[in-house]
Amino acid sequence: MSKKIIRFVKSEIIYGGHLLAMGAVGLIISFSLLLHKCFTWDYLMIVYLIVYNSYLFNRYKEREIDKLTNPERTRHFSKYALYTPLISGCVFLIILAILYHIGKLDFLPWAGFLFLGGMIYTLWLKRLTVHIPVFKNLVVALEWILAFILLPIYYPFFSFSLPFIILVGIIYLKVFILTSYFDVKDVQTDENFKLLTLPVIFHLKTSLWLLRILTVIFGIVITYSVYQEIIPSAALFLLLTLVFNWFIFRETEKERTSFSFLYFLASLEFIFWPILILMGFWLL
C-alpha cells in the first residue's frame, strides 16, 4: 500500500501540474528579490493554487486528446479525473479561506478573475489559435504575468516602476518561450485541430531555432538592463538558463533523449530562478 501511495505521489508531482505551479511561485519570489520587496506565504499560496487549478482543468477537459501525446499523464490523471470539479471547488474555497484569514477579501474579485481565466482559456480562448497564430501561448504567458501585474494591488509597497515593467517583460518572454516549447509534443494533435502553434507553422527545426533566437533576446534584455542599472546585477545569473534552454532544444532536435524527460526538465526551470538570483546577490 505504501509503495502505491509513493508511486501515486511521485506521478502526481510530475504529471499533476504541481511543477509549473511551483515554478510560478519561484517567479514571484525571484521578482520580489530583484525588486528588493517582501513577499508573504499567502500570495505565494494563492498563485500556486490558481496555476495548479488552471492546468488541472485543462488536463481534465483535454484528457482524451492527451492520450496521443502524453499517455503516462493520461493514465495517472484517469485515476481521479471524475473528482476534478470537486478538487477545483476545494481549491477555490482554500483561496477564499486564505483571503479571509489575512483580511484581504477585497482581493477576491481579482483572485476569482485569475482563477476563472485559466478555465476560460481551455474552454474558449485556445480555439482562437485556429485564426490567430501562437495565440494560445500569448494568452497563457499573459495569464502568468497577471499574477505580477496584480502585485501592487495586493501589496501597496509594489509600484509600476521601470524595473517592475522591465522584469514583467523579461518574465513574459521566458514564459512564452517555454510554453511554445511545450507545444512540440502536441504538434500532431494541434495539426488535427488546425491550431496555429509555432511548431505547426514552422515545424520542429525552424521552431527550435526561433526559440533559440528568443532565448538570446531574453539574455540581451537582461544584460542591457543590468548595464543600465535598471535591475540588480544578480539577474545576470539568470543567463545560466540560456545554456539549460539550448541543451533542451538541442536534445529535442536530435531526438536522442525522451521528450517526456526534456519536458520534465523544462518544467523545473522557474523553480531554480530564486536560487540563481540568491547566488547572484551572494557572489556579485
Band (14; pLDDT cuts 50, 70, 90): confident
The span from the CA of 129 to the CA of 85, in Å, is 26
8 Å CB contact between 222 and 239: yes
Cα dist from 138 to 39, 95, 148, whole Å:
27, 26, 16
Q: What are phi and psi of 134, to 5 degrees?
A: 50, 25
Cα dist from 22 to 19, 50, 240, 245, 269, whole Å:
5, 11, 20, 19, 10
Average pLDDT, the chain: 91
**pLDDT of 61:** 84
Tell me: pLDDT of 68 over 80. no
> pLDDT tens, 196-224?
998 899 988 999 999 999 999 999 999 99
The one-letter amino acid at 2: S
* SS3 category, 153: helix
Tell me: pLDDT of 1 over 60. no
The C-alpha cell at 272 is 531554480
Band (194; pLDDT cuts 50, 70, 90): confident
The span from the CA of 55 to the CA of 84, in Å, is 11
> pLDDT tens, 227-266?
999 999 999 999 999 999 999 999 998 887 788 889 889 9
> pLDDT tens, 247-258?
999 999 888 778
How many structural domains comprise the chain? 1
In order, the DSSP letters of 34-65 are HTT----HHHHHHHHHHHHHHHHHHHHHTHHH
**pLDDT of 118:** 87
The parent domain of residue 246 ranges over 2-283
Torsion of CA 257, 189, 136, 194, to 10 degrees: 140
**pLDDT of 154:** 96
Q: What does pTM read for this prediction? A: 0.94
Cα dist from 29 to 54, 150, 271, 272, 283, whole Å:
20, 14, 10, 11, 19
Q: What is the Cα Rg of the chain in Å?
A: 19
8 Å CB contact between 264 and 72: no
**pLDDT of 66:** 73
User: What is the Cα 245 distance to its own chain's centre?
Assistant: 15
